[in-house]
Chain A
């Protein structure tokens, strides 16, 4: 089945620790996105990538980093500089152009220990 796979489903971070969230898609989509969702708020864009080896900051990129070495993969690292990392993280992808709907993975819940 084609889709977007995020792992792990739940993740706990210690103070000062970097953690990496995985996102893999087999939909052959060019564009991939990372969002953060906090309770009662809309999704906020962290980073996005249109093609391999290229990515752009979204609205809340501080404290996060990404890479796009393969078309299928767009991992997100939550660094120790992100002081409020507890949230629901969603990865999405779509075909050419942001006028195409995005399809989401089932998310990773990150909490601080």
Chain B
């Protein structure tokens, strides 16, 4: 079993619609979580940090469910520019330097 698992998609979303997807992680001791977006052949860019039960940033909402060991990302009012791969990143423990685990990403395609 992979330590961080994501549905690879693609999620095809009409412009203006809402899309949500999850990321599951295996280590119950994980303390911090991040969502990054990665455009084709580009570097990942931080979208949101998720430190507690969740947080919201404009059209993006991230939620953390520690009991079931998953985090979710919801995008409201999707824009064409939201088309990207969304990477789930999990820190496996507070004393583990460099031990961020990356999911393989969920591809989102927003269509006109």
Q: How many residues of A contact B (CB 8 A)?
A: 26
Total residues of chain B contacting the partner, CB 8 A: 26
Contact A45 B43 (CB under 8 A): no
A105–B45 Cα gap in the complex (Å)? 9
Our pick among A56, A90, A109 for the contact of B98 (Cβ within 8 Å) is A56
Partner of B43, one of A31, A41, A44, A104: A104
Any chain A CB within 8 A of the CB of B108?
no
Q: How many A-B residue pairs have CB under 8 A?
A: 60
* Residues of chain B within 8 A of A74, CB atoms compared: none
A101 touches B104 (CB 8 A): no
In the complex where A50-B97, A98-B97 touch, is A42 in contact with B45 (Cβ < 8 A)? Answer: no
Pair A90/B43 contact, Cβ less than 8 Å: yes
Q: Which residue of B lies closest to A96 (CB)?
A: B97
Closest to A49 in B: B98
